[in-house]
Chains A and B, each alone.
Chain A
């Protein structure tokens, strides 16, 4: 990731020092993000609210480890949230059942919206994902956002397991190349 927009003032260093104002501002700034991640991974109602509370405890515990020179604050918090969400869903056995999804890979694959105030990295990721083919985008959505395993994606979509794996690999390589400023065309060509 090369070019970056001006980012809002990092709050976690002040949180690590126990500054009440920074704690309040962190909650106001990032609670909608964590809520959105929890909802997108299938948590709803009370369980979604509980897990958001757990994520913020993790954030408070990890605040001192945040280095603004290494990652954006929103991304750092999203990483913490994903770790907690994935762990909790594994414990609760909440992984979505493929037979209930009846996924059909189609041209109307998930669009990338803009209802959240995105970090610079997420904004560029959104642009990169927008350049994927709809089927690739849907594979990425099923794996990263919905949390399905490769086998479950294969079962849900009817695609052969190898096709799921290779499709995901190509999609992620393409996103990574786009984020790094490389040529997605080269990646596409190389991965064929």
Chain B
């Protein structure tokens, strides 16, 4: 367990209890201990068809075929919900079929889903990011697209500082006018992997009646339940 940039010591706990920071560990140590100790639990055998479903997910991920029929609800998952990333890729493949019939082999992307949302959702709003004082956001540009009706949205970033996922992750917060006395809704954690434009799907933890403001913070890996907003980088708000 070194202290190299690849495995910095971090408080791993996702909850926000202050005492958790008193015992810190690196993720690699936690993973090694967890692997060692979970082997003693009654984990049971891998379900018979799980491996086959993982292979089908992988096929959709790596080789999305525009001619592939989307799985029937429940066909790919025990809970009736295909993996969200797989759904996104499959939908994007369908969008490719509709809008870009000559580029059938191109991998699907959130960019196309964002464009489709803007085209199809009459209530979709586009709000530009406003930089705050944090140094990591000083060059950042972009916007957020959100539809209350479809509970779907995408963030677009350019020149937001790249993060090391094992050290810190960005987290989106959605301010809902129907929850004036509650903390903002967790919109999901994400990573910035380079300086090129990046579109990130919004993954709201709760249903949002009316999103009027969005904020980006930098948090510990895995995100937090309630942000201290120590590293508040970007804000996008209605006029």
Contacts and interface: CB of A to CB of B under 8 A. Distances in A.
Interface string B7-48: 100001111010110110101111111111111111110110
A39 B44 contact: yes
Given A151-B19, A172-B29, A31 B38 contact: no
Given A52-B54, A145-B41, A32 B17 contact: no
B189 interface: yes
Interface residues of A, number: 75
Contacts of B27: 79, 82-83
Contacts of A71: 6-7, 28
B31 A78 contact: yes
B40 A49 contact: no
A83 B222 contact: yes
A179 interface: yes
Interface in B188-239: 189, 205, 221-223, 225
Interface string A28-55: 1001110111011000011101101110
Contact of A35 (B19, B36, B50): B50
A126 interface: yes
A79 B166 contact: yes
A-B interface, 8 closest residue pairs, ranked by CB to CB distance from nearest? A46-B78, A113-B40, A40-B38, A126-B36, A122-B35, A78-B31, A125-B32, A39-B43
Given A24-B55, A145-B41, 20 more contacts: A20-B62, A23-B58, A24-B58, A27-B55, A31-B50, A49-B78, A50-B77, A57-B84, A82-B12, A82-B27, A110-B37, A110-B41, A116-B35, A116-B39, A140-B33, A143-B23, A151-B19, A168-B23, A176-B1, A179-B29
9 contacts: A23-B62, A32-B46, A36-B41, A36-B43, A46-B78, A47-B78, A60-B61, A86-B222, A114-B39
